[in-house]
Amino acid sequence: MDGSLAFPVATPPVPGAAIPIAPGILWLRMKLPFALDHINLWLLEDGPGWTAVDTGFALPETRDAWQQIFAAELGGRRIERVIVTHYHPDHIGLAGWLTEHWQAPLWITEKEWLHARMHSQGGNEDSAALRRDFAHRAGLDADAATIFAERQGNYRRGVPSVPASYHRIGEGTAIEIGGREWRVLIGEGHAPEHACLYCAEGGILIAGDQILPKISPNISVQAYEPDGDPLARYLASLTKLRGALPSDILVLPSHNLPFRGVLTRIDELAAHHHARCAEAVVACARPISAAELMPVLFRRRLDRLQTGFALGEALAHLHYLVGQGEIDRVRGDDGVDRFLCKAA
Question: Contact residues for Zn ion (CB under 5 A)?
Answer: 88, 209
**Pairing assessment for the beta strands 180-187 and 259-260 based on DSSP bridges:** unpaired
Backbone angles phi, psi at 249, to 5 degrees: -80, 160
Question: Looking at beta carbons only, is 158 or 287 nearer to Zn ion?
Answer: 158
Shortest spacing between CB 333 and Zn ion, in angstroms: 37
Question: Looking at beta carbons only, is 29 or 338 nearer to Zn ion?
Answer: 29
Shortest spacing between CB 112 and Zn ion, in angstroms: 10
- Report how far apart, in Å, the C-alpha atoms of 27 and of each of 21, 52, 200, 289 are: 6, 10, 19, 42
Chain Cα centroid distance, residue 322: 24
Q: What is the DSSP letter of 36?
A: S
Question: Looking at beta carbons only, is 73 or 209 nearer to Zn ion?
Answer: 209
Question: What is the rounded (10 degree) CA torsion for 208, 209, 212, 218?
Answer: 180
Shortest spacing between CB 154 and Zn ion, in angstroms: 15
Question: Looking at beta carbons only, is 88 or 276 nearer to Zn ion?
Answer: 88
Q: What is the DSSP letter of 13?
A: P
Shortest spacing between CB 255 and Zn ion, in angstroms: 9
Shortest spacing between CB 290 and Zn ion, in angstroms: 21
Question: Looking at beta carbons only, is 132 or 190 nearer to Zn ion?
Answer: 190
Residue 253 zone, left/alpha/beta (φ > 0; ψ -120 to 50; rest): beta
Please report, as a single letter, which amino acid is at residue 235.
L
Question: Looking at beta carbons only, is 46 or 209 nearer to Zn ion?
Answer: 209
Neighbouring C-beta atoms of residue 114, cutoff 10 Å: 17
Question: Looking at beta carbons only, is 88 or 260 nearer to Zn ion?
Answer: 88
Shortest spacing between CB 221 and Zn ion, in angstroms: 15
Burial environment of residue 81 by CB neighbours within 10 A (0 to 12, 13 to 18, 19 or more)? buried
Alpha helices by DSSP H, the chain: 60-72, 89-92, 95-102, 110-120, 128-137, 142-151, 155-158, 230-244, 262-283, 290-297, 304-323
Question: Looking at beta carbons only, is 99 or 218 nearer to Zn ion?
Answer: 218
Question: Looking at beta carbons only, is 39 or 65 nearer to Zn ion?
Answer: 39
Residues in contact with 67: Cβ distance below 8 Å, sequence separation at least 6, in sequence order: none
Please report, as a single letter, which amino acid is at residue 129.
A
Tell me the β-bridge partners of 303. Answer: none
Shortest spacing between CB 191 and Zn ion, in angstroms: 6
Shortest spacing between CB 35 and Zn ion, in angstroms: 14
Shortest spacing between CB 194 and Zn ion, in angstroms: 7
Query: Residue 223 and residue 83: Cα distance in Å, rounded?
Result: 28
